[in-house]
Structure 1
Amino acid sequence: MNKIKLLFFLTAFIILYQKASAQESIIPEISDAYVEKLIAAAKANYPHVKVNQGHIKIAEGNIGKAKASYFDAFTFSYIYQPQGVNTLAGANGTSNYSYFNGIQIGIFFNLGTFLEKPYAIRAAKGDLEVANYEQDEYLLQLANNVKKRYYTYIQTVANLKLATQTCQDATNVLTDMKHKFQLGEETYDNYNKAQTNLTVAYQAKITAEANLLIAKSDLEELLGDKLENIK
C-alpha cells in the first residue's frame, strides 16, 4: 500500500512539474512589435496627451499674438471738424475761425510699449518650449506605464493558465483518489485532502481570473480602446 501511494504521488508531482516547467517564463509571450502598437494607441487616444497638445497649440498662438502686438506701440487717431463750426471768440467779440478745420490725422508712438515686445515674444517661445518638454516627458512616462501594465497583463494570463491546469490536475487526482477509496485502496484522510486541494485550486483560479480582468482593465485605461481592437 505504501509503495502504491508513493508511486501515485510521485507520478502526480512529475505531471505538475512538467506543466509548470512549460510556463516557467512569460518572455516568449511578449511581442515587442505589439507593445509598440499599444503605445501608439495610448498616444493617440489617452486624454492627457490631447490636453498637452492643446497647451502646445495655445503656446504657438501666443507667439503669433506677441509678434502682432508690435503694432500696439502705434496709436492712430483722427479728428473731423467741419468748416466754420469751430470758432473762437476774440476779446472784442469778433469770431475767428480755427486753423484746425476739416480732418486731422495723428499717429502716436509709445517707445516703452515697443521695447517690451521682444521680451513678450521670448516669453511666449519659452512657454512653447516648456509645453513641448512636458509633452515629451509625459509620452515617455505613458510608454513606460503601457509596458508595465502590458507585462502585468501577460503575467496574469500565465497565472490563469497555471491555475486552470492545476484545477484540471487536482480534478484528475481527486477522481483517481475517489476510485481507489471506493475500492478500499486509499484512506479517507487522503481522499479528503484531495477534495481540499481541489477546492483550494478553484479558489486560486477564481483569484487569477479576477487579477486578469483587473490587469486588462488597467491596460485598456491607458489605451483608450479594447485590447481586442488593437491587432
Structure 2
Amino acid sequence: MKKLYPVLFLLVTLLSFKASAQETVMSEINYTFLEKCIQSAKDHYIRRKIFGLRAQDAHLNISTSTISYLDIFTASYFYRPNDKPVIAGDGLTTANPYSVNGFQFGGTINIGQYLQKPFLVKKAKYEYQIAELEAQEYDKTLATEVKTNYYNYIQQLSQLKLTNQSVQDTKSIAETTRNKFQKGEATLDVYNQSRAAEAAAESTKIQAEIAYLKAKDALEDIIGVKLTEIK
C-alpha cells in the first residue's frame, strides 16, 4: 500500500501532461495585442518620454545656435542736438564745438564669435542626430522589454491554468479515495496520501497565482495602463 502514493502522484502528473497537451503557450499569444502593448509603453513609459524630450531639446538648440549669429554684432548710436551749447566748468557755456550733430550710428563685429558660429551650429545638429538615434535605439529596447514581460505573463497565465486543472484532478482523486475509504475499499494510509497530494496541489496553485500576479504587474508597469484598458 505504501507504493500507492507514487502511483497517485504519477496519475496526477499524467493528467497534468494531458492538460498541457491541450493548452500551449503559443496558442495564448496574441500578436495584435502585443503590438498594442508596445505602443502603449511608448506612449506612457516615463523613461521613453525622457528620451523624446532630449531629442526635442537638441532640436531647439539648432534654432538657438542659428539665431545666435546676431550675437556677434553690436550696434550703438549717439545723438547730439543741433545748435546746442556745451556746458563747460563753473556753469559756463560755450558754442557747440562739434561739426557733426544729430544721430550718429556705429557697429562692431566679434570676429572670434563669427568664426565659432558655424561649428556651434554643426555641433547642435550632431547632438540632435545623436539624441534621435538614442531615442530610436531605446524604442527597440523598450519593445524587447515589453515582449519579454508579455511572454512571461502568458507563460505564468498558462501555468496557472494547468495548475488549476491539476488541482481539480487531484481533488477528484482525493474525493474518489475518500469514498472508497468510507466503504472500506481503501486503507487509511492511502486516504491520507490522497489528502497530502491534494494539499500539495493547492500549495502549488498558490505559488502559480503569485507568479501570475507578479508577471501581470510587471507588464502593466511597463505599458503604463491596465491590461483591461488595451483595446
Output the TM-score relative to the length of structure 2.
Answer: 0.88
**Runs of 4+, deviation exceeding 6 Å:** 4-11
**Alignment coverage as a number of residue pairs:** 226
User: Structure 2: which 5+ residue stretches go unaligned?
Assistant: none
Amino acid at match of 2:64: K
**Aligned twin of 2:106:** 106
Aligned to 2:216, the other structure's residue is in SS state helix
- Contact 2:85 2:95 (C-alpha < 8 Å) held by counterparts: no
Q: 1:163 to 1:26 in 2, by over 3 A?
A: same
Q: CA deviation at 1:57?
A: 1.3
1:117 aligns with 2:117: yes
Q: CA deviation at 1:6?
A: 11
**Aligned twin of 1:19:** 19
Aligned to 2:184, the other structure's residue is in SS state coil
Q: Distance between the aligned counterparts of 2:127 and 2:46, measured in 1?
A: 21
**Aligned twin of 2:78:** 79
1:63 aligns with 2:62: yes
Q: 1:198 to 1:142 in 2, by over 3 A?
A: same
**Aligned twin of 1:220:** 220
Question: Which is bigger in relative contact order (C-alpha 8 A, separation at least 6)?
Answer: 2
Q: Distance between the aligned counterparts of 2:87 and 2:9, measured in 1?
A: 124
Q: Distance between the aligned counterparts of 1:69 and 1:81, measured in 2?
A: 32
Amino acid at match of 1:213: L
Q: Distance between the aligned counterparts of 1:76 and 1:35, measured in 2?
A: 61
Q: 1:11 to 1:54 in 2, by over 3 A?
A: closer
Q: CA deviation at 1:171?
A: 0.6
- Taking every aligned residue pair, what percent have the same amino acid on both sides? 36
Worse overlay, 74-83 or 170-179: 74-83
Q: CA deviation at 1:15?
A: 3.6
Q: Distance between the aligned counterparts of 1:5 and 1:212, measured in 2?
A: 29
Output the TM-score relative to the length of structure 1.
Answer: 0.88
1:172 aligns with 2:172: yes
Amino acid at match of 1:19: A
Alignment of 1:1-231 (within 5 A): 14-23=14-23, 25-85=24-84, 87=86, 97-231=97-231
User: Structure 1: which 5+ residue stretches go unaligned?
Assistant: none
- Alpha-carbon RMSD across the aligned residues, in angstroms, is 2.6
Q: Distance between the aligned counterparts of 1:211 and 1:10, measured in 2?
A: 25
Q: 1:190-227 CA deviation, whole Å, 9 max, x = no partner?
A: 11111111111111111111111111110011111111
Q: Distance between the aligned counterparts of 1:43 and 1:221, measured in 2?
A: 12
Worse overlay, 97-106 or 179-188: 97-106
